[in-house]
Amino acid sequence: MKKRAFIITACVLIIFAVEAILLKGGDGGLQQGGDWNKQSFFTARVIEAHEEYLILEVFDTGNSNFSEGAKVEVSTDVEAADGCPEFVADEWAKVLMASNKGDNPPGRLEALSIYKTDETGKVIAD
């Protein structure tokens, strides 16, 4: 009888463990930090270029949550090995971010990389 109760208890615990994993999205808790493993991008026209940040107007939303015409501030301190190219107003930029931000993000966005593009969004050499 004790063996049967032990087996039933073990089965119930296994079911609870599987259910907990499934409720977390099947990742077993690996995404505790949020959307760190997702990357999003958008292409925008440079409105203002400063040494530490760019003010951009989104014209191609890419896979981001930004709407066309949204104005965003992006730090030029990027994680890319090549750094951020120098921009002037009316140039175009493609921004790659570590996670998808909302349409009106608070503060300055941190980018993984920023590329110069032509007016169609095609990346060009700096």
- Per-residue pLDDT of 82-95, as tens digits, reads 889 999 999 999 99
Name the H helices within the chain: 2-23
pLDDT < 50: residue spans in the chain: 26-35
By DSSP bridging, strand 53-60 and strand 40-49 are: antiparallel
Q: CB-based burial of residue 56 (10 Å sphere; 0-12 exposed, 13-18 middle, 19+ buried)?
A: buried
The model's pTM:
0.65
73-84 tens-digit pLDDT: 999 999 888 889
Q: Is-contact 48 89, C-beta < 8 A?
A: yes
